[in-house]
Structures are given as C-alpha cells and as structure tokens.
C-alpha cells in the first residue's frame, strides 16, 4: 500500500510540474507583455513593473523565471485578475467550493442512481428490462448537456414554474461565506431563516444536479452492468449456485460487492468528465462556480485568471482522481499488488 501511495504521489508531482510548465508558457503565448500576463497587473506604473520584474526574476534565464514563478505559486500567489483586480487565489477560493458542491452532489446522485440500475440490467440480462435500461442509458449519454440544461429551464422554470433557474440561493437570504459550500454554510449560519434558506438552496440545486448527473449516471449504468455480468460469469458464482444459495443471496453476498469494486475504479476517470459538464452547466444556470468564472475570463481575455484557473481546476481533478484510486486500492488488494491476482 505504501509503495502504491508513493507511486501515485510521484505521478501527481510530475503531472503538476508539467501543468505549471504549460501555464508558465501560456504567459508567453498569450498576446501582450509576458510579465503582465503572469501577474495580471495591467495598470501598474513603470516603477511597480520594475519591482515585479525583479520579483519574478524577469532578467534571468527562462529556468530562473520558471523557478520564481513556481515559488510564487507555492506561496499561493497566482497574480491578480485583469478584470476585477482581485487576487486570483481569492477568486478561486470564493468560486471553487460552489463547483465542489455541485459536482459532488451530482456524483453522488449519479452513483446512487446509475449503479443499482446497471446491476438490475445485468440481473435481467437480455430481457426487456435490460434492453430498456440500455436504451435509456444510450439516449441519456447522447444528449448534449447545454441542450438538456436549457430544456430543463424551459420546462421546470418557465413552463411549470416549479424550480428556480439560476444561482445557488435566492438573494434574499444572507448566508455568510464560511466554507463556501452553501448547504454547510446555511447549517452553520445563525440566520433566523435557516430552514427556508436550506430549502431554497436545495431547490436551486435540483436542476443543475440532474443535468450534471445524467451523463455520468448513464456511464455508471453501463459500467455497473458489464461489471456485474463479468462477476456473474465467474467460477465462484457458479460454485455458490452449486452450493444451493438462493439468487438474492448470491447477488447481495457475492456478486454486488465484487462488482462495485470494479465500478469504483472508473469513478475517478468519470470525475474529469463530470467537471467538464459542470462547467457548461454552471454557465447555463448562472452557478457561481469556478467553471463559469473560467469561461467568463476566457471571454474577457483575462489571461492571468485563465492560467490560475487552469492549474487549480486540473490539480483539483487530479487530487480527486488520486483519492479515488487510493480508496479503490484500500478496498481491493488486487490493485495494490498485481502479483496477487495472477
């Protein structure tokens, strides 16, 4: 397990190194002065620029510049946004929790819906239920997310008026920013309208979560289905059948646990996909997350924000990926040491 963990961390380290190189080289590739692209100080006076040039070792070689860039990065200094003139790190800390909230709730929904349905499909293999589930999964997977989002607003907000179409919570509720995760902040707050605020925030969550969760849920369905089929085909299931266990005993005691392990490994991979979907969804539902912020900064040509957002978002995805890998390895000894299996 230790070696496995170390291996993952060394991978993480090198990937991050590559990412920072990419981000650093972006500051050269974007139009305009490289130093300004890197720091975001568009209205700095020549004196201030000289100080900055010194700080970022602008006059030494590329390697020196890159190392001083890394130093700033590790101190949490990603420069200033060219549009709002606020530190990028502040903006990111304000925005990232909203994305985490949306993505994690969507991931949970996708798992709790997708995996059981996938298992059902496998159990009823080649029967009507299986075909129906496969069809739904195929359709769900093919629907473009922006279209689904707009359709959801059209039906549930505009036509039916059931659910709100934008934002994280109604502006009427004043919730202090503590963790940034809206639902937790509401519980921590001392507002007299706590319960109303919680309901309101939940209502705001429903549509974006469904939109984000749909595609991953259908993927989980298919993964769970094939994992289950594979397990059901193994010798130990046949042995269990031969022992005379009932069908539900076989499924619940033997098959399900082993099939879930196989699915968990892919959750990490799906997370990157989910964040991409969440970014588009954030724009449609005016969700104040990092995705809509990043897309907005692309529109505004806010180069510093693009570089900072890129690093933060990709390291976030990578960290989640590693955590899920570790969980998977903890659950499944086979993954830690391939020797055991063969």
CA–CA gap between residue 234 and residue 66 (Å, rounded): 53
CA–CA gap between residue 219 and residue 110 (Å, rounded): 9
Contact with another protein (CB under 8 A) among 52, 93, 193, 310: 193
DSSP secondary structure code for residue 58 in this structure: T
253 binds another protein (CB under 8 A): yes
242 binds another protein (CB under 8 A): no
122 binds another protein (CB under 8 A): no
CA–CA gap between residue 49 and residue 39 (Å, rounded): 10
Which two three-digit tokens encode residue 280?
């588009």
Contact with another protein (CB under 8 A) among 116, 237, 266, 276: 116
> Angle at CA 334, nearest 5°, toward 328 and 340?
165
The minimum distance between CB 97 and another protein, in angstroms, equals 16
Which two three-digit tokens encode residue 158?
């505009």
The minimum distance between CB 13 and another protein, in angstroms, equals 37
Give 121 or 311: the residue with its C-beta nearer to another protein.
121
- In sequence order, which residues have a C-beta less than 8 Å from that of residue 275 and are 6 or more positions away? 99, 103, 291, 313, 316, 317
Helical H runs in the chain?
Answer: 2-29, 34-39, 46-55, 62-74, 88-123, 128-142, 145-152, 182-188, 194-232, 235-243, 247-249, 256-284, 290-299, 303-331, 333-336, 338-341
Size of the chain in residues: 342
Contact with another protein (CB under 8 A) among 14, 174, 301, 333: 174
Sites for another protein among residues 275-334 (CB under 8 A): 286
Q: Per-residue x/- marks for another protein, 10-39, CB under 8 A?
A: ------------------------------
Q: Which stretch binds another protein (CB under 8 A): 35-43, 141-149, 158-166, 231-239?
A: 158-166
180 binds another protein (CB under 8 A): no
202 binds another protein (CB under 8 A): yes
Contact with another protein (CB under 8 A) among 82, 107, 133, 153: 153
Contact with another protein (CB under 8 A) among 161, 244, 338, 341: 161
Residues lying near another protein in the complex (CB under 8 A) are found at 84, 112, 116, 153, 157-158, 161, 163-167, 170-174, 193, 195-196, 199, 202, 248, 251-253, 256-257, 286
């Amino acid at each position: 397990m230790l070696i496995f963990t170390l291996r993952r961390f060394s991978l993480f380290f090198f990937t991050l190194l590559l990412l920072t190189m990419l981000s650093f080289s972006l500051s050269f590739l974007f139009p305009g002065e490289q130093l300004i692209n890197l720091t975001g100080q568009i209205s700095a006076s020549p004196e201030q620029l000289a100080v900055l040039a010194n700080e970022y070792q602008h006059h030494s070689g590329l390697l020196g510049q890159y190392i001083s860039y890394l130093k700033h990065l590790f101190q949490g200094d990603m420069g200033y946004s060219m549009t709002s003139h606020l530190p990028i790190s502040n903006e990111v800390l304000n925005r990232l929790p909203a994305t985490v909230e949306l993505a994690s709730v969507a991931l949970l929904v996708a798992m709790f819906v997708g995996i059981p349905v996938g298992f059902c499909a496998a159990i009823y293999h080649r029967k009507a239920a299986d075909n129906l589930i496969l069809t739904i999964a195929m359709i769900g997977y093919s629907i473009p997310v922006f279209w689904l989002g707009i359709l959801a607003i059209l039906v549930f907000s505009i036509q039916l008026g059931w659910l709100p179409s934008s934002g994280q919570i109604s502006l009427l509720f004043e919730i202090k920013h503590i963790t940034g995760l809206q639902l937790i902040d509401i519980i921590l707050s001392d507002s007299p309208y706590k319960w109303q605020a919680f309901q309101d925030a939940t209502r705001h969550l429903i549509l974006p979560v469904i939109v984000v969760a749909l595609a991953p849920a259908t993927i989980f369905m298919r993964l769970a289905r094939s994992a289950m089929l594979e397990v059901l085909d193994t010798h130990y299931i046949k042995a269990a059948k031969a022992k005379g266990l009932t069908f539900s005993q076989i499924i619940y005691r033997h098959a399900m646990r082993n099939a879930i392990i196989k699915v968990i490994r892919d959750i990490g991979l799906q997370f990157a996909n989910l964040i991409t979907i969440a970014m588009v969804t954030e724009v449609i539902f005016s969700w104040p997350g990092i995705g809509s912020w990043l897309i907005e900064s692309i529109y505004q040509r806010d180069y510093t924000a693009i570089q900072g957002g890129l690093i933060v978002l990709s390291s976030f995805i990578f960290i989640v990926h590693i955590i899920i890998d570790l969980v998977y390895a903890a659950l499944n000894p086979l993954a830690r040491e391939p020797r055991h299996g063969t």
